[in-house]
Each structure stands twice: as C-alpha cells, then as structure tokens.
Homo-oligomer: A and B are copies of this chain.
C-alpha cells in the first residue's frame, strides 16, 4: 500500500515536474524573444541615426596652407555597417513574428516548433557575422592600423564612434538572446540528466 501510494506520488511528481519544466522553457522563450526584439530594434535605430559633421584640416595642394572643411561621417559609408543594420533589421522582423506566434499560442504543432528552431539558428549565424564585421571595422576606426596605413577616425568623429559602440553593444545583447534560445533547452536537459 505504501509502495503503491509512493508510486502514484512519483507519477504525480513527474507530471508536475514536466509541467514545471514546460513553464520554465515557455517563460524563458518569451522573455528571450522580447529581449531579442527590443535589442535588435534599438541597435538598428541607434546606428541608423548615427551621423556626425566635424571640421577637418585638409591639404589640397602642397603649396597651399590646409583648409578647414566640414566633413560628415555616416554609417552607410562602410559596407560592414550596412550589413550590420540589415542583419539587425531582419532579426528584429523575425523576432516580432515569432513573438506574435508565441503570444497567440500558434506554435503548438511540431512542424512550427521545428521551423522556429531552424530560423533561430540562422539568426544566430546572421547576427554574429554582422557583429563581427561591425566590431572589426569599429576597432579599426578606434585604433587604426599602422601596417596598412589605415588611420584611426574616432579621434575626429568621437560622437559617431560612441553611438556606434552603443549600437554594437545592444546588438550583442540581442544576439546573445537568440543564442540563449538555442542553448536553454539543452541546458535544461543537461540539468535534468545530472
């Protein structure tokens, strides 16, 4: 009798444990998608509005003194930043769509779940490649490279570089949210296995 009741408790425990696990996974999924949406949106807007005009001394001819001219830095002058904005915009649009599907409880079919897992993985690849490209160019703008004579530009366009850094940081947070969407389910399985 004792064993029987213990057995039924075990089954109940397992059932409530499964429910609890599903609730954790569902909540994590919702929070991470919301975070991914907000962060990729902010990243795209912040760099999309990034523009600065500075007065730069330019020597047009050797025989003439340098001229002080206004020069404008815009994000779309650099192809890496174009790719970065495109990656964040695509990821933001997808985060919105998947978030709406989650809220409307339209992800019950196994096919839809599988499709979302596939696109989540593609978004991680897209966003991290965009981040890599933008950070590489951002570091070059900040430090320059004496070997190839690429001079730093952040000493002149400080505000532009600060705004780009902020955008890169928020994009990294959004990308990490997408990465966690892939990593959390196996991590929970790992915890359950131990």
A78 to B194, CA, bound (A): 43
Interface of A is mostly: helix
Chain B residues whose C-beta falls within 8 Å of the C-beta of A122 in the assembled complex: 179, 183
A14 within 8 A of B: no
Chain B residues whose C-beta falls within 8 Å of the C-beta of A130 in the assembled complex: 132
Query: Chain A, 111-144, contact with B by CB distance < 8 Å: what is the 0/1 string?
Result: 1011101100110111011111111110111000
Chain B residues whose C-beta falls within 8 Å of the C-beta of A124 in the assembled complex: 121, 124-125, 128
B182 adjacent to A136 (CB under 8 Å): no
Among residues of B, the one whose C-beta sits closest to the C-beta of A182 is B121
Interface residue range, chain A = 35 or more
A175 to B98, CA, bound (A): 25
Question: From residue A83, how far is it (CB to closest CB) to chain B in Å?
Answer: 8
Chain B residues whose C-beta falls within 8 Å of the C-beta of A113 in the assembled complex: 186, 189
Query: Chain A, 3-38, contact with B by CB distance < 8 Å: what is the 0/1 string?
Result: 000000000000000000000000000000000000
Binds B, one of A43-51, A88-96, A148-156: A148-156
A164 within 8 A of B: no
Among residues of B, the one whose C-beta sits closest to the C-beta of A146 is B77
Q: Please name 12 pairs of A and B residues whose Cβ atoms are closer than 8 Å in the assembled complex, sorted by A.
A: A83-B136, A110-B192, A111-B193, A111-B194, A114-B190, A118-B183, A131-B132, A140-B150, A148-B151, A148-B153, A150-B151, A182-B182
- Enumerate chain A interface residues (CB-CB to B < 8 A): 62, 73, 77-80, 83, 109-111, 113-115, 117-118, 121-122, 124-126, 128-137, 139-141, 145, 147-151, 153, 175, 179, 182-183, 186-187, 189-190, 192-194
